[in-house]
Structure 1
Amino acid sequence: MLNKDVIEKHDKRGGIAFEPGDVLYGKLRPYLQNWLNPQFKGIALGDFWVLNPTDISSGFLFVLIRTPTFERVANESTGTKMPRADWQNVSNTEFSIPLRKEEQEAIGALFQKLDSLIALHQRERAGV
């Protein structure tokens, strides 16, 4: 659950600040697929990587972290009771990325639209 109201948080952990355009990836039990492409400021509490894209579109990065290749690499975890994605493993993996930022943004926008359409269809089927 996402709680946007930090005042309601009764948590002593400091967390990691994030900005619009950052991408959050839940590294604890990565198979749970805890990821977010927030369009607001906030604090990530818990085991999250806050990815700050500099040479890549954040929309494309959000698509990339949800690919089977990224998921496979991230699920090569460390730990048994509380498996976490290993940054060394992920950061040493090569991923194909379009060179032109316009192409990255177009891919990110396409998948965002698809995600919205799927969510709308699911809500309609659930009668919400």
Structure 2
Amino acid sequence: DAWEQRKFSEIALRESTVQESSRDFPSVEYEDVIVEAGRLNKDVNQKEVVKKGIVFDGSQVLYGKLRPYLHNWLNPDFSGVAVGDWWVLKPIKVDKSFLYRLIQTQQFDDIANQSAGSKMPRADWNLVSNLEFAVPVAGDEQSKIGGYFSSLDTLITLHQRKYDALKTMKKTLLSKMFPKDGEDVPEIRFKEFTDAWEQRKFSEIALRESTVQESSRDFP
């Protein structure tokens, strides 16, 4: 089936009901969301400070309108209040997962960043809501697109965790495979080496070069 052009205001309704956070409605702030990943970095249910925000539930998506180039968004599976500069978007005759992916597209990003203000730019709802986007007519195509990108996000998360674990391991090994101040043997070393290390000035290890030349194809 063909896709159809629809204004964003025909795809998403911007919610505005304000309520205080509580145990049943935890607050979500910018600082709680991992930039571009769309994941929480903490258990927001453990937050104790009561704050006012826009009510959302698991049928809606959140988009950070402040400094939209930061790419703050969230696809919650719980109810709460969005504190600060969030748009709480309710899907209109469109799959929620598709809407969540649409707000991450380059087309949406371009219009969202045509914002007002220089130091604290905010996405302009009047601009965004009137822009037309291509939307699949078939709901199952919408959900399949959303599900596909959800799988990619899961894969990215797994690789990110491996990356973070390797960074931590590297930092630990750097501290243990080089002797600490005042010592001449590291905590960890390859078993075939047993001799002590020697103290040398950095100038005895590395020579700082100073020859100047223009760049070229052979010297990028």
TM-score, normalization by structure 1: 0.92
Residue 75 of structure 2 aligns to which amino acid in structure 1? Answer: N
Percent identity between matched residues is: 52
Partner residue, 1:37: 75
Give RMSD over aligned pairs. 1.5
Matched, 1:91 2:136: no
Q: Is the 8 A contact 1:4 1:42 kept in 2?
A: no
Structure 1 residue 79: Cα displacement: 1.2
Structure 1 residue 66: Cα displacement: 0.3
Partner residue, 1:15: 53
Q: Is the 8 A contact 1:26 1:47 kept in 2?
A: yes
1:1-128 mapped onto 2 (5 Å cutoff): 1=32, 2=40, 4-5=44-45, 8-11=48-51, 14-127=52-165
Residue 5 of structure 1 aligns to which amino acid in structure 2? Answer: N
Structure 1 residue 7: Cα displacement: 5.2
Structure 1 residue 32: Cα displacement: 0.5
The alignment partner of 2:131 has SS state of coil
Structure 1 residue 4: Cα displacement: 2.1
Residue 48 of structure 2 aligns to which amino acid in structure 1? Answer: E
Structure 1 residue 22: Cα displacement: 0.4
Structure 1 residue 80: Cα displacement: 1.6
CA distance in 2, matches of 1:104, 1:9: 38
CA distance in 2, matches of 1:112, 1:9: 32
TM-score, normalization by structure 2: 0.55
Q: Which has the higher helix share?
A: 1
Q: 5+ unaligned residues in a row in structure 1: which ranges?
A: none
Structure 1 residue 108: Cα displacement: 0.3
Residue 54 of structure 2 aligns to which amino acid in structure 1? Answer: I
Q: Which has the higher strand share?
A: 2
The alignment partner of 1:5 has SS state of helix
CA distance in 2, matches of 1:69, 1:7: 35
Deviations along 1:56-110, one digit per CA (max 9) or x if unpaired, are: 1110001000001100000000112210000000011111110111110010000
